[in-house]
Amino acid sequence: MLTSIASLLVSGTDAGSGDDALDALTDNIDDTDYDWWTVGTALIIFASAIILSRFAKMAIERALRRRIDPALATLIARLVGYLVIIVGVVYGLDALGVAIVPILGALGIAGIALAFAFQDILENFVAGVILQLQRPFTYGDQVKINDHEGTVHSIDSRLVTIITPAGETIKIPAATVIKSDINNYTQEGRRRTSLPVGVAYGADLDEVQRVLESAVAGADGVLDSPAPEVYFTGFGDSSIDFDVRFWHEPSIASFWATRHAVALRVEKALAEADITIPFPQRTVWYAGESDD
């Protein structure tokens, strides 16, 4: 019965492709006649799949919207809904007596071909989903991803966009982000910065440490806790070197502003204490010609 109906639908086509498609479909249908019970069962399966897909889509979208980007949540919910419908169609065809193994095989081959064709897109999509589920950063965070540092502007299913302090927009593929080292300066609510300082040989090192600690503690933007720290780092060619460490707000603007304020106060405090910041110098010994 279905064969004759299908033949009427494609009658009049002069291309062989219509006949081939018809043969591929009708070859999978049993020769037995369909009774109302079989057709009714298939229709119930089809209708149930459509209803279930709608409920699944709403439930998944509602659950994911709280954790990931709403647009991505909608996309995932739709994909799940389509998957439910496909499963329902397969079971419905099985109820009608259609051999579903060849159909599943064809779908599998098509899926593999599509996966290879859109490998980069699928990789970035999956990475984007993982990023939004794990949330190593969120909108507005100050981050450094590889050599790119800036503020997170957006996170979608394929790209992470950051705005650098210079106002540049950098779009990084999600797959690249998930494989990279990520520094999130915002997550802990504070950020530590270091400022190297060198003083002349002969200076009282205890006094140098007291002067530096006092200067840093009074600088604008420096947090009281944890307290600033000053550490000796080495004997340089022209100076005794220290590392001044202090904490401040995590934003990039705060980094530059606080570091600037600390540098000005350190220079002023050392000058008032008559502690010299040396410039690079070399001592040259000259051996004159002998009288002989």
Range with lowest mean pLDDT among 30-44, 59-73, 186-200? 30-44
What pLDDT is recorded for position 146? 87
Q: Residue 31 carries which DSSP code? A: S
The CA distance from 168 to 163, in Å, is 6
CATH 1.10.287.1260 domain span(s) along the chain? 2-123
% of the chain with per-residue pLDDT over 90: 34
The SS3 assignment for 67 reads coil
The SS3 assignment for 253 reads helix
The contacts of residue 251 (CB under 8 Å, 6+ apart) are 142, 185, 186
CATH number of the domain located at residue range(s) 2-123 in this protein: 1.10.287.1260
The contacts of residue 252 (CB under 8 Å, 6+ apart) are 142, 149, 150, 151, 165, 185
The SS3 assignment for 163 reads strand
Residue recorded with tokens 């502003």: 257
CATH 3.30.70.100 domain span(s) along the chain? 191-272
For residue range 72-97, what is the model confidence (pLDDT) as tens digits? 777 788 888 888 888 888 888 777 77
At 147, give phi and psi (nearest 5°): -100, 5
pLDDT, mean of residues 116-139: 79
CATH number of the domain located at residue range(s) 137-184 in this protein: 2.30.30.60
The contacts of residue 117 (CB under 8 Å, 6+ apart) are none
pLDDT, mean of residues 52-61: 87
For residue range 186-197, what is the model confidence (pLDDT) as tens digits? 888 899 999 999
CATH number of the domain located at residue range(s) 191-272 in this protein: 3.30.70.100
CATH 2.30.30.60 domain span(s) along the chain? 137-184
Q: Answer positive or negative: Cα dihedral of 2, 93, 96, 37.
A: negative
